[in-house]
Amino acid sequence: MRRMARPIRVEYEDAVYHVMARGNEQRAIYRDPTDYQCFLQTLARACQQYGLVVHVYCLMPNHYHLALQTPRANLSRALGWLQTTYSIRFNRRHRRNGHLFQGRFKAQLVEADAYARRLVTYIHLNPVHPRGRNSPIPADKREQLQAHPWSSHWAYSGRRKRQTLPPWLSLEWLWYFGRNYATARRAYRRDIAESFSRRLPDPFAEARGGLVLGGDELWQRAKQYIGKGAGQEEIRWSHRASQEQVLEALAPLLETELDQRVRIWACVRLGGQRLVDVARECGYRDGSGVHRILQRLEARADGDPSLAAKLKRLQRKVQPLRPR
């Protein structure tokens, strides 16, 4: 049996994360209101026991989203306990055995100052997201969103009074919408209303290396933590992250390059892109066509000093960024 790869975790005090987990085989992890309540009670216990600060949550029938902070740098322990404990309670209640969740939870580091406002809106709109992520949110889904009780949407919109909110839910991120509760809630409701009838960009698609939703400072910090890890997943991730940096550096250098063969060479030989991916982007049937282009270009460079010099210049430009 193939062993599931251990996900990379970057943990430090007060780190902010977007966390998501799905049911095994896309099956429901909540079957009725009692299950939803049980999960929230288990989450409350996890917050008390591990010091988690939950800023946003949304529970859907077969998955959940959380935006949370870890003052004690203990994400893996806290979320591991949450999912294991809830799974035991769910299985006992429904008289079933086996895994409830689809592997380990996913977690992305988040730079709150840059992404909190978008994250709050995006997570809360989960109940009305269309299946096709490039489709607009239907305008007639407004009532469906307002009727969904298993998220922090009611808390942000002001539908629930502050006195009735769970003590583990922090509304600190409301301040990204305004300077006081009244103006912040109005701005939040406006953001939600303006999201209907248009396609909502997925902020998680911007995550660097699939792990970091933030700017250069957070990106460099994450790479430092991951670089200290000796596991195979850390090594693979560091390699992929370096390749992404190379491709980013190459993009402006190749903007004025008219020879597609040189652009292909740079993406494969310097950026580490797979032959099959480049073939798909450039309209070739498969990777063998791209491989032949590389061979012919390099053979030509042996007898063409100007071409050889061009390839060497590109190589020097990205050499400090290339994976070692």
pLDDT at 323: 47
Can you name the residues that pair with 151 across neighbouring β-strands? Answer: 58
Residue 221 within any structural domain of the chain: no
CB atoms within 10 A of CB 45: 15
Q: Does 15 score more than 80 pLDDT?
A: yes
Global confidence as pTM: 0.71
**End-to-end Cα separation, the chain, in angstroms:** 32
Instruction: Give CA–CA dist 14/53, Å, rounded.
Output: 9
The answer to whether residue 223 is domain-embedded is: no
In a domain, 218, yes or no: no
Instruction: Tell me, yes or no, whether 10 lies in a domain.
Output: no
Quote the CA–CA distance of 168 and 166 in Å, as a whole number. Answer: 5
Contact 320, 312 (CB under 8 A): no
Tens digit of pLDDT for each residue in 62-103? 999 999 999 999 999 999 999 999 999 999 999 999 899 988
pLDDT at 239 over 90: no
> What's the rounded Cα separation, in Å, for the pair 62 and 50?
25
33 token code pair: 């209101």
Instruction: Tell me the per-residue pLDDT of 32-53, one tens digit each, with 9 for 90 and over.
Output: 999 999 999 999 999 999 999 9
Q: Identify the pLDDT of residue 314.
A: 80
Query: Tens digit of pLDDT for each residue in 93-120?
Result: 999 998 999 888 899 999 999 999 999 9
User: Quick check: is 226 in a domain?
Assistant: no
Neighbouring CB atoms inside 10 A of 317's CB total 16
Note whether residue 297 is domain-resident.
yes
- Given a contact cutoff of 8 angstroms between Cβ atoms, the answer to whether 15 and 73 are in contact is yes
pLDDT tens digits along 135-173: 899 999 999 999 999 999 999 999 988 778 999 999 999
Does residue 294 share a domain with residue 158? no
Residues 45 and 163 in one domain: yes
User: Which pLDDT tens digit goes with each residue over 189-198?
Assistant: 999 999 999 8
Per the domain annotation, does 293 fall within a domain? yes
- Range of the structural domain that residue 79 is part of: 15-213
Sequence-distant (≥ 6) Cβ neighbours of residue 86 within 8 angstroms: 29, 38, 39, 42, 100
Q: Are residue 40 and residue 145 in the same domain, yes or no? A: yes
* 257 and 186 both lie in a single domain: no
Quick one: tokens of 262? 């040189």
Same domain for 208 and 249? Answer: no
Instruction: Of 225, 167, 173, give the one whose Cα is nearest residue 51.
Output: 167
At residue 46, the pLDDT reads 96
Same domain, 46 and 166: yes
Within this chain, do residues 159 and 250 fall inside the same structural domain, yes or no? no
Tell which of 193, 213, 233 closes a domain. 213
Alpha-carbon distances, residue 304 vs 157, 164, 263, 313, 316 (angstroms): 67, 76, 17, 14, 19
CB 120 within 8 A of CB 67: yes
d(CA 64, CA 126): 10
The HSE-up count of residue 101 (CA atoms within 13 Å, CB side) is 20
Confidence bin at 255 (pLDDT 50/70/90): confident
In a domain, 6, yes or no: no
- Could you tell me the CATH number of the domain that includes residue 160? 3.30.70.1290
| Residue 95 in tokens | 């008289």
